[in-house]
Structure 1
Amino acid sequence: MKQVKKSILSLFIAILIAAPVTTYAHVKWFAEVEAEKVPIEQILSPFFITFSLVVAIILAILPQLMGYLLKIPYANKLDNFLNGFRKYSRYILKYGTALAFVIQLFSGTMFAPEFEITETWQTVVMVLIIAGLLIPVHYSTKVAAALMFILFITVWADFGWFYMLDYGFYLAIIFVLLIGKTKVENWGFPFLYLGTGLSLCWVAVEKWVYPGMTLDIVASHNVPTFGFEPEIFIVMAAFVEFVVGYLLVVGILNRILGLVVTVIFILTSMLFGMTEIVGHAMIHIVLLIFIIEGVSFYEPPIKIHKTKIDQFIFVFLNFIFVLATFILIYYRFA
């Protein structure tokens, strides 16, 4: 058990070291060099493979410690306190999305900093979306969600499906807003977890395939690497992002992850300024929902397996499979 605790402590130390500077910052927002794909052999370096195996082992151990986390003083009371806010989750998403779109509108962008508003009709649609979300009628919310989908598709058509996969979580948000007050309403938040987790995993792979952009950010913004070589540092930072996305998908530590990532966003906002705030305002809203909701409505896939050894093997092999799949797909179409 002591060895297990040391492993978990090491993971959180890695998060604290690697995360606050390059993780979750979309490198394409800040890099001043062209994206250049490196050979697959360079991505799958001995360090990358070793670190992957270490992370997979730690993640496989993590579910076995979930019960111990609730034994931490006041953890149970905090858990029950947050449960009391679940009834407000859909309102937080609805009005939080409106707030995020207001920020985007005033910055002259749609969805993300690189998608600038260039036509009058885009401004009109943005205003209609905000108005529809602010009106306290669920039909109005559905209309706003439909307009969001139309606007998203137009941006998708301009930039391509591969580019827009970074922002796939918007489709999950649209889905949640559309199915409110329907028989399938309960599908909404699990889909939001899935969409957000997959988006984070996808963005993480970008840092491995195009390391030059992240290295440029580290150099131009004087980002501290805490004694690590910049090439090693960005691999670790991307792993943190990928792991967070993976854990959101499999339904482990959602409240803790939401809190940790929210703190990270605050730190990156201090480093990268207004662009970071505009780009991640919507993600802040989603993470707040994750902090409130936990996994109450979402049966983690790991629960399919009953014994601890089966759960260990499932998480270990599943993480390696998901990691390999994301890298191969991204590299093939990048």
Structure 2
Amino acid sequence: MRPPFSPKSLLSLAGATALPLLSASPAAAHVKWFAPYIVGAPPQPIAATLGNIWFWTGIVLVLVFFLATRFVERSPAGEAILQGLDRATDPLWLRLDDFVRVVIGAFFVAIFAIGGVYLTPDLKTPAEWVSWMQLLIAALIFSRRTQPLAAAGIIGLWLLALRDYDIFHLLDYLALGVGVAGYLVLEAMPNPDWRARRFEVLRWGVAIALMWSSLEKFAYPDWFYPLVEEKPFLTFGMPRDVFIPMAGVAEFTMGFGLIWTPLVRRLSAIALFVIFNAAVYPFGRVDLIGHALIMAIIVAIAADRTREVHFLPAVKRALAGVPAGLAAALVVFVTGYWGLHVAIYGAGGNVGAAPAEHLTHTPNAENPHGVTGTSDGVSDAVNAAAAYQAAMDRMHGPMMNGIADPDPDAAFVRGMIPHHQGAIDMAETVLKFGKDPENQHFAREIIDTQTREISEMRQWLRQRGIAEP
């Protein structure tokens, strides 16, 4: 049975409320996860992801995990595992509503203490009264009579953020905010049937938020390049262009797992908690605050011992439902992401003007990114010149070696691979030090196109058993 107060209805309500405030104005440039970016810039074509072998490798690995989990879940061992999880999480399950309410309240107290933000440290505001509104929301959470007012306050903060941030940027935060608001409303309801859906709404909110935000890794992989370069240990030794698409697949599919059957969703929640928890120490306390709410909800999902399966239960219980459901989710979210971008900014995007940047973290001084690593244009120019020269130095030897191949066809491909990589390195340099929005758009197009062409040329070499330069 469809939840009477589903995330979809909540999203529709918030969207209808927000419509008068929305317009397709030029996208603002902000900094997200260490990288300056322009939301209105055209995303990488989805064909680039569909042609990426590492994307499909990730999909296959996750499907094997999900299918194996469902196979076990359908056997007597599945119920034994679920009962073991029940015993481990019983103390939390018995006080799960108290846990969730305390965490939500503590989160809003924490961002009140930080000051100058909306719903997360990534969304900054100069309005001091917004922080006091967050403290009021925290106070309203501890009485069932006032929880709906707290829920309205959360949605109100999201709508207020539209004054300062682009609508497409804020969609990353809508589903989680709506899920939390929906939980607060349903938890306060006297109707037991409606109240029984409160954790499901929370789960859907987190799942949608994760699946939506994961698409950035496919649409704008260059946003993540500075982060990977600054903290290379995050890639577990994998090359950047292998790690980013597979990380996107992991985030999307684990989010998808949260809305599937009990064992799949609980194991997905545990996996996500481990992933999020691993990032706490490297990024510090502010990042912990930014992710605390979603981490706590993931813990609540892992502790949720309910066995009911709502929304297409027959599909979810069938083994074939796993690949079918994942394929359907990908189609819906990819169509929504790329389609909304075109609807808001047009097919060519809309980069607008580049205002001052905001940072959510302190960058590493040895690996500066954006325009924050220096305080004057002269230093930027010197660093950019050095980066361009380094790119050319890296390119020259392999390219000359490649074009020396006696086979003209092989010489062309072996020479063009380092040539393209040099162009990518130069494009990344202008993204790091440049300020012109149109130039940055060109740079992203170069990165997208030439990364795809390098992959195709490497495939050509592999098919013929020819070594790269």
- TM-score, length of structure 1 as denominator length: 0.80
Shift of residue 46, structure 1, vs aligned partner = 4.1
For the 8 Å contact 1:107–1:278, the answer to whether it is kept is: no
Shift of residue 71, structure 1, vs aligned partner = 4.6
How many angstroms apart in 2 are the aligned matches of 1:332 and 1:223?
35
How many angstroms apart in 1 are the aligned matches of 2:267 and 2:304?
11
1:44 aligns with 2:45: no
* Corresponding residue of 2:303: 292
* Corresponding residue of 1:5: none
For the 8 Å contact 1:197–1:246, the answer to whether it is kept is: yes
* Corresponding residue of 1:104: 111
The 5 A counterparts of 1:50-89 are 51-66=58-73, 67=75, 68-71=77-80, 76-83=83-90, 85-89=92-96
* Corresponding residue of 2:260: 250
The 5 A counterparts of 1:215-226 are 215-226=225-236
Shift of residue 186, structure 1, vs aligned partner = 1.4
* Corresponding residue of 1:181: 189
Closer/same/farther in 2, CA of residues 241 and 124 from structure 1, 3 Å limit = same
SS of equivalent to 1:113:
coil
The 5 A counterparts of 1:1-334 are 29-35=32-38, 37-47=43-53, 48-49=55-56, 51-66=58-73, 67=75, 68-71=77-80, 76-83=83-90, 85-108=92-115, 109-134=117-142, 137-156=143-162, 158-167=164-173, 168-179=175-186, 180-183=188-191, 184-252=194-262, 253-294=264-305, 296=306, 298-301=308-311, 303-305=313-315, 311-334=318-341
Closer/same/farther in 2, CA of residues 251 and 78 from structure 1, 3 Å limit = closer
* Corresponding residue of 2:448: none
Closer/same/farther in 2, CA of residues 227 and 332 from structure 1, 3 Å limit = same
How many angstroms apart in 1 are the aligned matches of 2:68 and 2:163?
43
How many angstroms apart in 1 are the aligned matches of 2:265 and 2:324?
21
How many angstroms apart in 2 are the aligned matches of 1:122 and 1:224?
34
For the 8 Å contact 1:110–1:116, the answer to whether it is kept is: yes
How many angstroms apart in 2 are the aligned matches of 1:50 and 1:78?
30
Shift of residue 52, structure 1, vs aligned partner = 3.0
For the 8 Å contact 1:52–1:320, the answer to whether it is kept is: no
Shift of residue 286, structure 1, vs aligned partner = 0.7
Shift of residue 185, structure 1, vs aligned partner = 1.1
Deviations 1:23-53 (A, max 9, x none): xxxx953232335622333222241345435
Closer/same/farther in 2, CA of residues 78 and 44 from structure 1, 3 Å limit = closer
SS of equivalent to 1:33:
strand
How many angstroms apart in 1 are the aligned matches of 2:231 and 2:330?
29
Shift of residue 117, structure 1, vs aligned partner = 3.7
Unaligned segments of structure 2, at least 5 residues: 1-29, 342-469
Deviations 1:286-330 (A, max 9, x none): 112112214x06415564159x8xx12221122112113212321
Closer/same/farther in 2, CA of residues 315 and 220 from structure 1, 3 Å limit = same
How many angstroms apart in 1 are the aligned matches of 2:271 and 2:156?
33
For the 8 Å contact 2:254–2:269, the answer to whether it is kept is: no
How many angstroms apart in 1 are the aligned matches of 2:271 and 2:59?
21
SS of equivalent to 1:116:
coil
For the 8 Å contact 2:140–2:147, the answer to whether it is kept is: yes
SS of equivalent to 1:238:
helix
For the 8 Å contact 1:169–1:199, the answer to whether it is kept is: yes
Closer/same/farther in 2, CA of residues 51 and 256 from structure 1, 3 Å limit = closer
Closer/same/farther in 2, CA of residues 250 and 141 from structure 1, 3 Å limit = same
How many angstroms apart in 1 are the aligned matches of 2:337 and 2:84?
42
Shift of residue 201, structure 1, vs aligned partner = 0.5
Closer/same/farther in 2, CA of residues 202 and 28 from structure 1, 3 Å limit = farther
How many angstroms apart in 1 are the aligned matches of 2:47 and 2:85?
46
Shift of residue 148, structure 1, vs aligned partner = 2.1
Question: What is the aligned-residue identity percentage?
Answer: 21
Deviations 1:172-212 (A, max 9, x none): 11111112233121121111111110110011111111000
Closer/same/farther in 2, CA of residues 85 and 223 from structure 1, 3 Å limit = closer
For the 8 Å contact 2:125–2:164, the answer to whether it is kept is: no
One-letter code aligned to 1:229: P
Higher percent of residues as helix? 1
- TM-score, length of structure 2 as denominator length: 0.59
Deviations 1:81-102 (A, max 9, x none): 4245433222111111010111
For the 8 Å contact 1:29–1:113, the answer to whether it is kept is: no
Higher relative contact order (CA 8 A, sep 6+): 1
RMSD of equivalent CA atoms: 2.6
How many angstroms apart in 1 are the aligned matches of 2:92 and 2:234?
38
Question: Which 10-residue stretch deviates more, 281-290 or 77-86?
Answer: 77-86
One-letter code aligned to 2:240: P
* Corresponding residue of 2:351: none
How many angstroms apart in 2 are the aligned matches of 1:33 and 1:151?
24
Stretches (4+) displaced over 4 A:
69-72
Shift of residue 234, structure 1, vs aligned partner = 0.8
